[in-house]
Structure 1
Amino acid sequence: MAIKNAVSLYSLQDEFMNGRMSLEDIMAFLDENEVPGFEILPDQMLHGTPNPTEETLAEWDRIMAKTKSKPVCADVFLNTNLYNNRELTQKECVDLLIEEIKLANRLGFKLIRLVSMVPAFVIEPLLPYAEKYDVTIALEIHAGMSFNEPETAEFIKEMKRVNSPYCGLVVDTGIFCDRIPRVFCEFNKQVLGVNPDVIDYFNAFFDKGLDGTHAFDENHNMQPELAAMAEPKDMPFIMLADGYENTPLTVLDDVMPYIKHFHFKLWEMTEEGIEYSIDYKKILQYLHDKGYDGYVATEYEGNRWILPGNPMVEKEQVAAHQKLLREAIAEIEG
């Protein structure tokens, strides 16, 4: 049993999108930083997904042949609103995901992350293909769409019913925040002009061991004190601030046998070598105590909150987070 570190290439999306790093450059960066595994969004970095050309696949094979880091997880989306006038039928949903399973197998991945809210009805018809191609399907448990969400609960219920090693969960640690990301607050304050009192209102919940979900009632209406101070310019912050959840780790106790992978969210590595919002040593200790055997992948999202005029620091942040994970895993696992 061992916890292994990885990087989601989503963390380097700005470098890739703006042409500062190619896929080959990114793989070299992973090897330079001794990252044993990686996660990819195929439709972000492989043209034509889920049916790339033979030329694209040949280029993938060429890069993989010289890369030490290994394919761990392919992040897959299911666009049920593909058409303007209707949602996809159940058969269309399943057929699309079958193609994703086949591609994952071809690329060397043994795990697919299904984005949050993928309907539970896909599980049973996909299992024969998951088994045939040796690719596990796993729903992402993400803040804002976590364990209390009816669709998530339905997926977990069906997952437990079929009880297959080819069906499980991917947990995003954005549900385990001790604080709202500082970079998020500063961007909203300095760039969007959000009222500092609104930001302080949300931060105060964390000071009490709570989170921003308590700023709303059960119908997701703002609490009276928040509504009294909120202005239209504050709404982008307000509508995102409850997405940083402070959930006890014990919420995982019941589903640990089904967890296949973790997204270790990263917004800001500090000069002290820790992530500002999440206590990763505590999480890694919990996973070790529970006997977790799998990867934990850095997923950097502080890139969206870089202040104007400041350089993009994706590579620096990812490298610092990986150093934290390597050292913490070595300390915990001996």
Structure 2
Amino acid sequence: MIRAEQPAPDIAVGIVTAGVAPVIEVEPGQLWRSFPVPADAEVDALRRGLDAAGGRVSIVGASLDDWVGPTQRRSDDDRLAFLLPQLHAARRVGAAGVRLPIGQAGEPLLRRVVPTLHELDLVLFEEIQGQQTPDSTPTAAAVDTIAGLDDPRVRVLVDISMLMPALPSSYLEQLAGAGLPGDLLARLTDEWRDPATTGVVVDVLRSGAVPPAIHTMYMNLLVRFGRSDAGVLRDILPLVGAFHLKFWDLDDTDGRVSAPIRDLGALLAPTGFAGTLCSEWGGHEWLLDADAADMTRRHLALARQALAEGAAAAA
């Protein structure tokens, strides 16, 4: 997509035609030039392409631009007006739901949008990921809001980047190649789940020891990579309607890829969960030469096996 070798909608349809997966999530800001007010013609063209390939959309990644400029925040009327065209586009493309970051909408907007969700037969998912947890601030308040609404049209989406037992080996290789301090690399390799590791990561950043070329990649340690156990999800499972099975590479040493999925399978098996589980590759940031289709096929195979093993263990 970045190299613009194909139009983005062709890439999306190509996931289906290539046999990678028949059901996909889409990001309208990547697909439709008319976004954030998607033109019917663009939406219909994608749906026709997917229909012809035997595919469909599960969830559309909606967006809320909360600011008009550096200092002017949109009113809730403006925010609703910004979101509604995306909801109608999601329905038009045949999706079952849309997603937003956890807590971004806020209770007043959620209450106003619920009637439209019922009208369009959509679910709005609020996504929790990385170092967020159900009891962290302000995530806990957003989860309480969803529980208080008590409406199946507003659910939680969990990205299992929350549940990383260890950092991806390919990511650690990138950090090592960038010249980070050896004691930090040792800690990231052997003590990722130690809560004290975050303090060390911040101290090294503040010290100026992180090369500017990897600042963005380094911030994954503070935002995108979590260290929770699947058990933290147990109390919110009745509110969860979807999962992103995030992966970064396929090095499954010590079960760093499969273990969180296996634990999730064991957690979900007794619940009758019937939502979506979506493979989501995050390592394209540094695995620049990897084949995305091959990575996803292999991850889907690994995920199916791990989920089945987890479910069997819980039986």
Q: Report the TM-score when normalising by structure 1.
A: 0.81
Corresponding residue pairs, total? 307
Residue matched to 1:199? 185
Q: Aligned-residue CA RMSD in angstroms?
A: 2.9
Q: Which runs of 5+ in 1 are unaligned?
A: 1-15
Distance 1:198 1:331, change over 3 A: closer
Q: Is the 8 A contact 2:65 2:82 kept in 1?
A: no
**Identity within the alignment, %:** 16
Match of 1:322 among 297, 300, 303: 300
- In the alignment, the residues of structure 2 paired with residue 33 and residue 287 of structure 1 have an alpha-carbon distance, to the nearest angstrom, of 27
Aligned to 1:240: 220
Tell whether 2:237 aligns with 1:256. Answer: yes
Are the structure 2 counterparts of residues 154 and 65 from structure 1 closer, same or farther at C-alpha, using a change threshold of 3 Å? same
Letter in 2 for 1:133: L
Q: Describe the SS at the equivalent of 1:179.
A: coil
Out of 136, 161, 168, the residue aligned to residue 148 of structure 2 is 161
1:189 partner amino acid: A
Q: Is the 8 A contact 1:39 1:75 kept in 2?
A: yes
Is 1:265 aligned to residue 252 of structure 2? Answer: no
Alpha-carbon offset, residue 54 of structure 1: 3.6
Distance, in Å, in 2 between the alignment partners of 1:116 and 1:291 is 24
Aligned partner of residue 246 in structure 2, secondary structure: strand
After TM superposition, the structure 1 = structure 2 runs for residues 235-314 of structure 1, keeping only pairs within 5 Å, are: 236=215, 239-243=219-223, 244-270=225-251, 276=257, 279-306=260-287, 311-314=289-292
User: Partner residue of 1:215?
Assistant: 197
Which residue in the other structure is 1:71 paired with?
57
1:267–1:275 Cα contact (<8 Å) kept = no
Offset from partner CA, 1:59-79 (integer Å, 9 cap, x none)? 223202212232111111212
The answer to whether 1:118 aligns with 2:104 is yes
Structure 1's 228 and 75: CA in aligned 2 closer, same or farther, altered over 3 A?
A: closer
Contact 2:133-2:228 within 8 A present in 1 as well: no
Q: Is the 8 A contact 1:111 1:138 kept in 2?
A: yes
Superposed CA deviations along residues 146-179 of structure 1, whole A, max 9, x for unmatched, are: 3244332222111111100101100010110010
Seen in structure 2, the aligned counterparts of structure 1 residues 326 and 31 have a Cα distance that, compared at 3 Å, is farther
1:130 counterpart = 2:117: yes
Counterpart contact for 1:303–1:313, Cα < 8 Å: no
What residue number does 1:4 align with? none
Indicate the SS of the match to 1:104: helix
Q: Is the 8 A contact 1:177 1:245 kept in 2?
A: yes
Determine whether 1:99 maps to 2:85.
Answer: yes
TM-score w.r.t. the length of structure 2 is: 0.85
1:170 corresponds to: 157
Shift of residue 130 of structure 1? 0.8
The code of the aligned residue for 2:289 comes to: P
Whether the 8 Å contact between 2:265 and 2:308 is mirrored in structure 1 is no
CA distance in 2, matches of 1:184, 1:281: 22
Q: What's the offset of the Cα at 1:87?
A: 1.6
Cα–Cα, structure 1 residues 332 and 120, in superposed 2: closer, same or farther, change >3 Å? same
| Unpaired runs of at least 5, structure 2 | none
Task: Render the CA deviation track for 1:301-324: whole Å, top value 9, x for unaligned.
Answer: 111012xxx623222211110121
* Matched residue type, 1:63: G
Give the letter for the 1:316 counterpart. Answer: D
Name the CA distance, whole Å, in 1 between partners of 2:110 and 2:40: 29
Determine helix, strand or coil for the equivalent of 2:88.
Answer: helix
Quickly say closer, same or farther: Cα 1:82–1:117, change in 2 above 3 A: farther
Give CA-to-partner distance per residue, 1:243-268, whole Å, 9 cap, x none: 42221212111111111111111101
The answer to whether the Cα contact below 8 Å between 2:43 and 2:89 also exists between their aligned partners in 1 is: no
Among 17, 34, 37, the residue aligned to 1:51: 37
Query: Residue 104 of structure 1: CA displacement?
Result: 1.0
- Structure-2 residue corresponding to 1:37: 23
Distance between the aligned counterparts of 2:286 and 2:92, measured in 1?
A: 35
Q: Measure how far apart 1:333 and its partner are.
A: 6.1
Cross-structure match for 1:108 = 94
